[in-house]
Structure 1
Amino acid sequence: MRREILLWFQAAYEDLEDAKDAFNRRRWFRAAFFSQQCVGKALKSLFFILRREEPPKIHSVTELYLLLKESGFKIENEESLYILNKYYTVTRYPDAANGLPSQSVDMEEAQRAIKIAEMVIEECRKILEKK
């Protein structure tokens, strides 16, 4: 397996661990952000296999997913990915959050974001194991 694939997937896994750590520290906004990052990197790891190209330099997990879907990748509950897109900005910038980023996500949202990330990384892992 190409080194780049492993690097993207390992980075995704590390982001998932960071999301869980942030959740345990009650930093909901950080948990949501790292969940979004996890999904983006996990999806990017599949580009080398499913599309035979480097992943695009975009941050929308929805766009990444739609590109992979063209190559046959499908996850259940795909609409859940739309939720993660907002965490790329609102968890970091006061103007995007219309306030403090730390107040932009509650515990339920953070928990849901982590569950989505766990689901996506597992689906990606299954594909990578086959290759």
Structure 2
Amino acid sequence: MSTNKPTEPVEPITVTLAGAQDPAEDLRRLELWLRMDEGLAPLLVHRERPAGETMGIGYDLMVQALQETLQVTALTLLRCVYDHLHTRPADDLEVTVQVQDVRVVLTGRDTVTRGELEAMAARVRQAIEG
């Protein structure tokens, strides 16, 4: 008899961006980049923005992590966002990863170590776990 409990999604992690010349296209490119990671791809979903908040972007990205993979998912997400920002020729894009009141903001100008990314991921995890 199996004692495995069913896995349940935790509060979603919201990914938004700012500072782009073409925000909708930059969000699409970021989504494609994140979907290249096999662990993140099945967790990504769109959240439609209310009509008054679109400002060129009709949706935000949401990551629906599972409790048991939360730390790994948060770290993978932040690493992928950081890598994506550093593949762009311009450093004007700003990506925000947010859960409740915890916000992690990364730009192409940032130089972040793995340890710093791990600390950011721990903050995201703690915000979800309460």
- The two structures have a TM-score, normalised by structure 1, of 0.31
Higher strand share: 2
TM-score (norm 2): 0.32
Higher helix share: 1
Larger radius of gyration: 2
